[in-house]
Chain A
Amino acid sequence: MGLNKDQMAQRIARELKDGYYVNLGIGIPTLVANHIPEGIDVELQSENGILGMGPFPWEGEEDADLINAGKQTVTLKPGAVIFDSATSFAMIRGQHVHLTVLGAMEVADNGDIANWKIPGRMVKGMGGAMDLVSSAENIIVCMMHTNKAGESKLLPECTLPLTGVGCVKKVVTDLGVFDIVPEGFLLIERAPGVTVAEIRAKTAGRLVIAENVPEMVL
C-alpha cells in the first residue's frame, strides 16, 4: 500500500509555512503546489528565473517564453518577477529560499543524497540540484521508499555519485516520514496502513523508531 504521489505531495505541503519562498524540484515535488494549505502564503521559485510562479496556463494560452525548470509551460501570479540565472542562484546560495523539495535516487542516513548520475548508464546532469542542496537550510527529499527492484533507497551509505553531503533534513516516502538525526532515519509518521515492521524491512540505513509512531492522517 502506502501513499500515492499526490498524497506524498499533500503530506509535504504541511511543511510549508506562511511567508516561505520555496523551490520545488521536477516530478512529485511539483505536485506540492496543488496542496498548499488554506491561509498559508508561499511564493514558488523556479531556478530558471521566476519568483511567484503560477499554475499551468489554460489550453491555448501557452507561451514558449514562459516555462519552469522542468521546461513545462507555466503562468505568473500577480506580483511575480523574472530574473537571470545568476540572480536566481544568488537567491538559492544566499539562503533566501527557505525550503527546497526534490527527488532522489538514494539518501544515506547521514543526510547524503545522490540523484544525478548512474555511471555508464544514465548521465543527465545535476542541473541546479547541487547548488540547491549545498545551500538550503531546509531540504526535504520526496521519493519512493524502494527502487523498481524492491531495494531500499534509504541507505547506510549512497552507492551512486553524490549530489551533496550531509544536507538532507527530512525524507517523505510512500511509506512514511523520516527526520535525519545523528542516529539515522528517525521515523516520525507511518503512511496509513503501513506497519513499522514493513518500514523496518524496507529500510537499509540505520532506522530509529520512537515508542509510538503515529499513523498519518490525510
Chain B
Amino acid sequence: MNKVVNNADAAIAGISNDMTLMLGGFGLCGIPESSIAALVRSGVKGLTCISNNAGVDDFGLGLLLQSRQIRKMISSYVGENDEFERQMLSGELEVDLIPQGTLAERCRAGGAGIPAFFTPAGYGTEVAEGKETREFNGKMYVMEHWLRADFAIVKAWKGDTQGNLVYRYTARNFNPLMAMAGRITIAEVEELVEPGELDPNTIHTPGIFVQRIFQGTGYEKRIEQRTTRKRS
C-alpha cells in the first residue's frame, strides 16, 4: 500500500478552514516543520490545533499564531510564546489548557476507540469544573473524553512507503498517539525508505494509522534550551 505524496503541500491537501488538527511534538522537539510551513503557505484559517505546546514566537506553531490562522489551541503548556500569551489574554485566541497526561491519554483514547476514561489529574481544580467525577477505591477521579482530529500531523525519523514509522529519542513524545487519532494522518519523515528496510521489531507506529507520508526537507530542528557541560 503506497501512501507516499510528493511534498508537504500535497500532504495537507483537504485541510480547510475551521478544521481540527493534531500536531505532534514537545516544545520544538519532534514537530512537523515541513507541514507547518505548508499550512502557513496555504493560508487556511480558523484552525483548532491540538498540540502539547504552541511553539515559540518565530518557530513551530508560533508561525501559525503570528499569521492568525489558529482560532483555538488545546495544549498543556504554552509558556515559551509571548505572542500566544498576548492573543490569549486579549481574548483573540481561545485556549483550552489541559493536563499533559490527560492530553496524551485523550489522544490515545481517540485513536483506540475509547470515548471516555477517568483520571485523577485535575480533581478539585478548575480543570474538573462541569465534568463528571466519581470515586473509585476511595479516591476521586474526573471523566475526560477522547480527542480526535480531522487531520493529525506527525513527524518521524524514518518511515517506509507503507506508513510504518520510527521516531528518534524524545522526538517521539505525542507523535505516536496523535498518529492514531487523525481521521487522516499525515507523517513527515527525515528519511523515507522502502518496505522491508525498517526492522519490524522496532517500528513504533504501524502504517495502518498513517494515510499520507512524505520526506520533509530543510529540517532546522531548533533547540529551545541549549544546556551543556563545559569540558575542563
Say which residue of A64, A82, A93 sits within 8 Å of B120 (CB atoms). Answer: A93
Q: Is A49 an interface residue (CB 8 A)?
A: yes
Give the complex CA separation of A207 and B85 in angstroms: 37
The answer to whether A161 touches B126 (Cβ under 8 A) is yes
Interface flags, B191-232, vs A, CB<8A=1, else 0: 000000000000010000000000000000111111111110
- Chain A residues with Cβ below 8 Å from B126 are 161-162
B24 to chain A, nearest CB (A): 10
Complex formed: what's the CA distance from A55 to B27 in Å? Answer: 20
Q: Decide if B107 touches A130 in the complex (CB within 8 Å).
A: no
Instruction: Determine whether the beta carbon of B99 is less than 8 Å from that of A130.
Output: yes
Q: Does A151 contact B (CB under 8 A)?
A: no
Distance of A67 Cα from B170 Cα, bound (Å): 6
Cβ of A125 under 8 Å from chain B: yes
A38: min CB distance to chain B, Å: 20
Cβ-defined contact, A128 with B168, below 8 A: no
B160 proximal to A (CB < 8 A)? no
Stretch at the interface among A6-14, A84-92, A192-200: A84-92
User: B121 to A62, Cβ gap below 8 A?
Assistant: no
Q: Is the CB of A84 within 8 A of B77?
A: no
Quick check: is B161 within 8 A (CB to CB) of the other chain?
no
Bound CA–CA A93/B44 (angstroms): 38
Give, as a whole number of angstroms, the nearest-CB distance from B129 to chain A.
11
Q: Taking the nearest CB of chain B, how far is it from the CB of A119, in angstroms?
A: 10
Q: Are B29 and A65 in contact (CB under 8 A)?
A: yes
The yes or no answer to B97 lying at the interface (CB within 8 A) is yes
Please name all residues of chain B whose beta carbon is closer than 8 Å to the beta carbon of A120 when the two chains form the complex.
Answer: 89
- Candidates B27, B102, B169, B227; contact of A56 at CB < 8 Å: B227
- In the complex, which of the residues A82, A124, A131, A135 contacts B77, with contact meaning CB atoms closer than 8 Å? A124
Interface pair B223/A123, CB less than 8 Å apart: no
| Contact mask for chain A residues 47-65; partner B; CB cutoff 8 A; 1 contact, 0 none | 1111000011111111111
Least distance between B142 CB and chain A CB atoms (Å): 9
Q: Answer whether residue A146 sits at the interface, using C-beta atoms and an 8 A cutoff.
A: no
